[in-house]
Structure formats: structure tokens, C-alpha cells
Amino acid sequence: MTILVTGSAGFIGFHVTKRLLELGQAVIGIDNLNSYYDTSLKLARLQQLRSLALNVKSRFAFIKADIADSSAMEELFLTYRPRKVINLAAQAGVRYSIENPFAYIESNLVGFSYLLEACRHHEVEQFLYASSSSVYGSNTKIPCSEKDNVDHPVSLYAASKRANELLAHSYSSLYNLPTIGMRFFTVYGPWGRPDMALFIFTRAILDGRPIQVYNNGNMIRDFTYIDDITEAVIRLLDKPACADPDFNRSNSDPSTSSAPYRIFNIGNSHPIPLMTYIETLEMALGLEAKKEFLPMQLGDVQITSADTSALAGWTGFKPNTSVKDGVFSFVAWFKKYYGV
């Protein structure tokens, strides 16, 4: 069976593709290798995947393509006939969406729609896609549950991810396409994105520059280690969505459906203060950070916390890597990769 992973040169896409290859799966990876951040990191990830595929004798092909290119998507599906699709390609970043809204519309909405259409017309058995904890927006109920209302996003990025969930449901309902939306909570770890806090903080501390701490440090995040994210994705791939026989149309649960559709939170379920996260990084580096305290950024939220009981019930897995273990692993990778 061939599995298509979009965004395979990205942070999460790289780790998921790597795991699939280790399991002996045939993988088609696509990525547009855009310049949102340093492309050399993306190319290094790809080199790792190619080397791994040779070592474990798994089939891996990479195509440089944009999911918002309908002709490229049609050709790809005709050529490789993937049976399962994991969509991890997206324009990422809440703050960047304030500055470049059309980048999100092109990738997260137009590209997502092309993938759904391709899945519909080419007999794809299962479609998994990355959503985000940002869909919970201004909700104050903690922890966040898939059953909660998510109709009040506070950023275009969050709105685009919520739109993905609604589009997926329509295709599940109309065409019986099994879809699973994965709401990731603050993912971090080796090979991470340079625009994310852990990467930015590590570079700044090592360079002796101050780190920018928003909302004066009064933030709480459900930091989730990349290996836990990967494990959850693989387990969800092995258990497709199906129609909920107990779905109640008069009192509907937004996390499930009478169609083959599911939504799952993927988070650590142990949110910690941002300042504790920074202290853990300081411990791992053996250096103290200079801190510049700033007000809350537009489109940001103060706290994220995942209720992962639905994921545990569906897959038997609950993310559990401690922040200390995760941060120390990231620092070890960072030092090795950058020759610190």
C-alpha cells in the first residue's frame, strides 16, 4: 500500500514519513520547499529520509510540488495511486497569518480542497489531516475537548484549520470518505521549525541575546513532544474513522458524525507555564536567558490544554513524554546539528 504524506520535508511530516519508512511502508512525499523558513533544514530532512529508505529497503519517492497546484495533484494521484493520505502540508504560524493572509488561503484552503477532490476521485481509503489547538480560539473552558464549540477563532490560521474540518466533514458525508482531523497542541522536538519558541529561544540564549517573552510570561502551553505526535498519527492511520452509530442529530457531538468522520486532540495533557518551559531550557543549555517581557501578541491565546481521552479511547495511546525529556532531546539535537 502506498501512503502519500504532504509536507514531508516539514517538521511533523518528516517525523511521520520517517516512522512509516521504518515500518516498511511505501511512501510518496511531497513538499513545495517554500522559503517560510530556512530551506536547508528541509533539504537536510529529505536527505535523512532518502538515506533511511535505502537502509531499511523501503520505497520512498519525493516530488517537489504544491498542494494548491491542481494539475500537479491530479498527475501525482494518477501516477502513484496512494491508498491513504496524510496531509501535513500547510502554511504554519499564527503571527505570520496576520502579515500574509493569502498564503494561508492558498495552501490551507485551496490546496486542502484539491486534496479532498483527488481523494474522492482516486479511491483513497483514508484521509488524515493536521488541524490545530488554535481552533479553540477564545474558549476559556479548560481542558479543551473535541466536544467544545470552536466557532470563535482569533486568527486566520485558526479559521483556516476549522474550515479544513468542515470541508472534510462534507466529503465524509457526501462521498463516504473516512477523514480524521488531528488537533495538534504546541509540537516541539528535534528537527523542529526555526520559527517556533524553543528554536528561537535556544538560538538567542546561545548567542547571548535576550528572548522575547509575550504576555509578560503569563502563558500556559500543552507542549507536546514530536515522538508522541508521530505515534498518535500512526495509530490513527491504523484505525480509520467510521460512522458513529450513536450519533444524535438532535443533540450533535461536533467530534463525531453519522458520516465516517472524527476529530481528535493530540496533546500532552500536562500544560505548564511558559516560564517553567524556559527554565527547563536554561537547565539543558547550562545558561541563563536574558528576558524581554512584552504584551500579548495579536491572535495569540493565554492557555492551551488538551483533553485526550477520546484519542486514548480510540487508539489506546496517550502522549506522555515529559517536558524535561523533550527539551533535553531537542537541545542535544540542536548542538549536534549546528555544531555548537
**Residues with catalytic roles:** 157
Nearest Cα neighbor of 241 from 263, 255, 266, 260 is 260
Give the C-alpha separation, 58 to 6, whole Å. 18
Q: Establish whether the linkage from the previous residue to 143 is cis, with ω within 30° of 0.
A: yes
Question: For the chain, how far is it from start to end, CA to CA, in angstroms?
Answer: 41
- Identify whether the C-beta of residue 133 lies closer than 8 Å to the C-beta of residue 267: yes
Enter the DSSP assignment of 249. Answer: T
- Identify whether the C-beta of residue 189 lies closer than 8 Å to the C-beta of residue 225: yes
Kindly state the helix (H) or strand (E) to which residue 3 belongs, with its residue range.
Answer: strand 2-6
Angstrom CA distances, 273 to 45, 69, 278, stand at 31, 41, 9
Torsion of the alpha carbons at 98, 101, 103 and 106, rounded to the nearest 10: 150
Enter the DSSP assignment of 259. Answer: S
For residue 191, is it left (φ>0), alpha (ψ between -120 and 50) or beta?
Answer: left
Kindly state the helix (H) or strand (E) to which residue 43 belongs, with its residue range.
Answer: helix 39-56
State phi, psi for 33 to the nearest 5 degrees: 50, 45
141 three-class SS: coil
- Identify whether the C-beta of residue 230 lies closer than 8 Å to the C-beta of residue 15: yes
Give the C-alpha separation, 199 to 203, whole Å. 6
Q: Residue 209 half-sphere exposure, CB side, CA atoms within 13 Å? A: 9
Q: Where are the beta strands (DSSP E) in 107-191?
A: 126-132, 179-184, 187-188
